[in-house]
Chains A and B, each alone.
Chain A
Amino acid sequence: MKSFSKLLSFLLAIALSGGAIAQNSLLNVSYDVSRELYKDINPAFVDAWKAKSGETLIIKQSHGGSSKQAGAIIAGLQADVITMNQAPDIDILAERGGLVKKDWRKAFPFDASPYSSVSIFLVRKGNPKGIKDWDDLTRQGLQVIVPNPKLTGNGRYTYLAAYGYAMQKYKSDAQATDFVAKLFANVPVLDGGGRGATTTFSQRGIGDVLVTFENEAHLIEQEVGAGKFDVIYPSITIEAPAPVAVVETVTAKRGTRKQAQAYLDFLFSNAGQEIIAKHHLRPRNPAIFKKYAKQFPKVKTFTVESQLGGWAKAHKQHFADGGVYDQIVRKR
C-alpha cells in the first residue's frame, strides 16, 4: 500500500506542476515542415519576451499534416496559436465552434501571413530532361513527383499552380482540366506528406522533377548535399502565404491571450522576419526582403485569391469529392 500512495502522490505532483507550467507556456500547433523555422523563432521570442515583460515563457510545438493538426484543435487540442501553410485550415476553426475570429485575416498585417513561399521545380543536376516550365511537366514519359493534393497543402498548391498557369494560357476550364490531367498522369507516387515526396525524389531516386516549395528545395540542398539538384523557376507560379492566428477560446481559458498575441506579432517584427528569410521563406517586410533579395529570384506569381476565386471556390471546384481532381485521377 505504501508504494501505491507514493505513486499517487507522485502522479499528483506531476499533475500540479503541469498546472503551474501551463500559466506561462504557449502551444504552437503548426504544419509538418515548419519544424526548422520554429526551432529558431522560439528561443528568439522567449528572449525578447523576457526582456520586455520579465516573464519566462515556454513554447511547445506540435507538428503534423496541416489538416490533421486543425482537426486536432477542433477535437480539443489546447493550442494557443495556430501557424499553418494554407488558409482553409484556419477558416475551418472559425467555422466549427468559433475557435478563431471570423475576420482572423485582419488581426495581423499582410492578411495575417508573416511569410510566403512559391512552388518551384527541383530537377536532377544539369537538368537532363530540359524542364523549363509547367508545359514540360505534361510531356509524355516524364515522371513528376508531387505529394497527394487531397492530403497536403504542398500538393494542393502544386495542383492549383498548374491549373492557374493553364487558365492564363488557354483561358478555358476544359483545357486547364486537360492540362492538370496530363500532369498528374505523369505522377508515379503520391506521397502523403511534403517531406515524403522529398524523400521519394531525393533518396529513392524516383522522378525527373519534384514540384515543391522554394524553401523545401533549399533544405534538400542542405540535407542531401549541394550540387545534386538544380532549382528551376517556372515562368509563373503560385504564391503560398502561411497564415497564423490566435486560438481565442483556448487563450481566453488559459489566460494567455497577451502572450499569444506577442508571439505572433514577433513573426512580423524585424527580428522575426530576418529569421524567416534565413530559412528561405519569403518575408513580407519589404526592407528585409530586399536585404535577402539574392535568395529570392524574381518570379511572376498569382495567388488562390487572385487567379482561382479564393479557397472556398477552389476547394469546392477541385478537391471536394467528385471535384475536378477526383475526375482526372479516376480517368487514368
Chain B
Amino acid sequence: MSAASRRIFPGFNLSVGYTLVYLSLIVLIPLAAIGFKAGTLGWETFWEVVTTPQVMASYRLTFGASLLAGAINAVFGLMLAWVLVRYNFFGKRFIDAMVDLPFALPTAVTGIALTALYSQNGWVGQYLEPLGIKVAFTRLGILVALVFIGLPFVVRTVQPILEDMEIELEEAAASLGANRWQTFRYVVMPILLPAVLTGFALAFARAVGEYGSVIFIAGNIPMVSEITPLLIITKLEQYDYAGATAIAAVMLVISLLMLLSINGLQAWTAKRTGRGR
C-alpha cells in the first residue's frame, strides 16, 4: 500500500521497527544460531547425522504422533468447545477452567502423573493390562501425553468464533429445509473450519516440540519409542553440539513446512467459504 494511506496507528515506522527488533532478538537470532552451528558439520556429515535409521525412526514417530494427536484434538476440541458455548449445565465454568490446565501444569508433572495412571499397576493401567492394552512405555503412551498437552489449543481457538456465530444462521438453514447434517456441513463447518485448523496447527506444533511429559511415559526404546527431541538431548549429553543442532535444524525445517501447508490450507478454506480477504 502507498506510504500515506490509511494507517490507524501513528508512528508506523516505530512500531514496525520495534516488531522487527523484537522478533529478531526472540526468534530469528536463536534460529540463525541453529543454522550456523549445524553448518559447522559440512554437508556430508550433516546428512549422515540426520538420516541414520535411529533418527529417521524418531522423525516418523514424532511427526506421526503429533499429527495424530492434533487430529484427535481437532475433533474432540471442537466438540468440547461446542458443549461449552452452546449448553448450560452445572459446573460449566469449572470445566471451562479445567481446559487450560494442560497449559499451566509443568510438563514433567504431566508426564509423571500420566505414567503413574497408565502403568501396569496404575489406576487406569491395571484395568487395561488384562485387555492386553499397554499405554505407559509404548507409542500409545506418547500419543496420550501429546493429546493431553494439545487439548486447550483447539478449544480456545474455536470458542470465540462459536460465541460470535449467530444461532439464527442455523435456524435459517433449518427453515429452508436443511437437515441437521446439512446444516452442520454447509453452514456451521465453513465458519469454524479456519479456527479448527489454526487450533490443529498449534496443537501439532506444540506436540512436535514436547519433551518433558513424553519422556516419562515413552519408554524411550531406540527405533520404537524414541522421540526426536530425546535424540537431541542424547547428542548434547555426549557433548556433540553440532550433531544436536543438525537434528534440530531438520526438525525446524519439517515443522516449518508443515505449518506453512496448514496455513495454506487454512487460507484456502477461508477463501473457498468466502470469508477470506
Contacts and interface: CB of A to CB of B under 8 A. Distances in A.
A190 B54 contact: no
Interface string B105-129: 0000000000110011110000000
Contacts, number: 77
Interface stretch (B29-37, B233-241, B255-263): B233-241
Interface string A110-151: 000000000000000000000000000000000000001011
Given A150-B237, A192-B215, A320-B238, A204 B115 contact: yes
17 contacts: A67-B237, A67-B238, A71-B239, A148-B220, A187-B221, A188-B221, A190-B219, A196-B216, A204-B122, A205-B120, A206-B119, A319-B238, A329-B54, A329-B223, A330-B222, A332-B221, A332-B223
Contacts of B49: 321
Contact of A330 (B54, B122, B216): B54
A206 B137 contact: yes
Nearest to A190: B220
A42 B233 CA distance: 31
A192 to B, nearest CB: 6
Interface of A: 65, 67-68, 71, 74, 92, 96, 148, 150-151, 187-192, 196, 200, 203-206, 319-322, 326, 329-330, 332
Given A205-B120, A326-B54, A330-B54, A189 B220 contact: yes
Interface in B28-81: 49, 52-54
Given A204-B121, A204-B136, A206-B137, A188 B220 contact: no
A72 to B, nearest CB: 11
B138 to A, nearest CB: 9
Contacts of A189: 137, 219-221
B120 A204 contact: yes
B121 to A, nearest CB: 4
Nearest to B122: A204
Contact of A205 (B53, B121, B222, B238): B121
Nearest to B241: A71
A298 B18 CA distance: 69
B97 to A, nearest CB: 30
A287 B205 CA distance: 60
Contact of A151 (B120, B137, B234): B234
B137 to A, nearest CB: 5
A192 B225 CA distance: 13
Contacts of B236: 67-68, 71
B194 interface: no
Nearest to A193: B215
A321 B219 contact: no
Given A204-B122, A205-B121, A321-B243, A188 B237 contact: no
A44 B115 CA distance: 39
Contacts of A65: 237
A68 B234 CA distance: 10
A330 B53 contact: yes
Contacts of A205: 119-121
Contacts of A203: 116
- Counting from the closest, the 6 A-B pairs by CB-CB distance are A329-B222, A204-B119, A67-B237, A205-B121, A190-B220, A189-B219
A137 B233 CA distance: 28
Given A204-B115, A329-B223, A330-B223, A188 B137 contact: yes
A206 B120 contact: yes
A118 B185 CA distance: 66
A203 B120 CA distance: 10
A164 B60 CA distance: 35
B54 A191 contact: no
B73 to A, nearest CB: 26
Contacts of A151: 233-234, 237
A189 B234 CA distance: 16
A189 B243 CA distance: 25
Contacts of B136: 204
B54 A192 contact: no
A128 B120 CA distance: 19
